[in-house]
Amino acid sequence: MTRLAKRSNTPLLFIALTLLMIGCERTETPSTRTANQVSDWDMNISEAWVRPTKAGMMSAAYFNLSNQGATADTLVRASSTVSDDVQIHRSYQKDGLMVMEEQPFVDIASNSVRNFAPGGYHIMIINSTIDLTEGDEIPMTLFFSSGMILEQMMPVRLQP
Ligand SMILES: [Cu+2]
């Protein structure tokens, strides 16, 4: 995982290079903070997985978002190269039915973990442009109101 102190107008090339770097370093271990790496931002993605699907169909990404920093932050957007339409969603029970709704944002309080899981918050991949097959990995980018951008390769697999 990489933390980028960049706004969403980051040049595309920079993102592409970052994705290459992430591809070489696929550990989910949060980086440790040392005295010369002090930052207000300490947000980590763990246990990510993406549902397999076929091109033209929907999928969803799930993970835990852990904010170990002293400052609250807000997830405001998600994107992935596999779809032009990636949305923040939440599923919930309504009149005995499971429904889901797009969310404009999701708050992550300081020192808290927000679970994105089936039946709750998730990242909806509308109309994947490619088949997502078990064993694949797809890039996911999460944008926060602080300006922080998290990018992570997420494995495609059946529900763990
Ligand atoms: Cu959804």
- 9-56 pLDDT per residue, tens: 433 333 333 333 333 333 343 433 333 344 567 999 999 999 999 999
C-alpha 26 – ligand 1 centre gap (Å): 27
Q: What's the confidence (pLDDT) of residue 41?
A: 79
C-alpha 94 – ligand 1 centre gap (Å): 15
Residue 84 lies in a domain: yes
C-alpha 101 – ligand 1 centre gap (Å): 7
C-alpha 34 – ligand 1 centre gap (Å): 38
Residue 34 lies in a domain: no
**Would you give per-residue pLDDT tens digits along the chain (160 residues)?**
444 444 444 333 333 333 333 333 333 434 333 333 445 679 999 999 999 999 999 999 999 999 999 899 999 999 999 999 999 999 999 999 999 999 999 999 999 999 999 999 999 999 999 999 999 999 999 999 999 999 999 999 998 7
C-alpha 29 – ligand 1 centre gap (Å): 28
Q: What's the confidence (pLDDT) of residue 159?
A: 82
Q: How many domains are contained in the chain? A: 1
Residue 134 sits in a domain whose CATH number is 2.60.40.1890
Residue 6 lies in a domain: yes
C-alpha 37 – ligand 1 centre gap (Å): 36
C-alpha 61 – ligand 1 centre gap (Å): 9
Task: Name, in order, each residue with C-beta under 8 angstroms of 148's C-beta and a sequence gap of 6 or more.
Answer: 3, 4, 5, 41, 43, 73
Residue 38 lies in a domain: no
Question: Residue 99 is part of which domain span?
Answer: 2-28+43-155
C-alpha 92 – ligand 1 centre gap (Å): 10
* Total residues found in the chain within this entry: 160
Is the pTM above the cut of 0.85? no
Residue 36 lies in a domain: no
C-alpha 71 – ligand 1 centre gap (Å): 28
C-alpha 106 – ligand 1 centre gap (Å): 14
Q: How far is CA 95 from the centre of its chain?
A: 30
C-alpha 93 – ligand 1 centre gap (Å): 13
Going through the chain in order, the beta strands assigned E by DSSP cover 2-4, 43-50, 59-67, 73-79, 85-94, 97-102, 106-108, 112-116, 121-126, 137-144, 149-155
Residue 21 lies in a domain: yes
Q: What's the confidence (pLDDT) of residue 160?
A: 76
Amino acid at 104: P
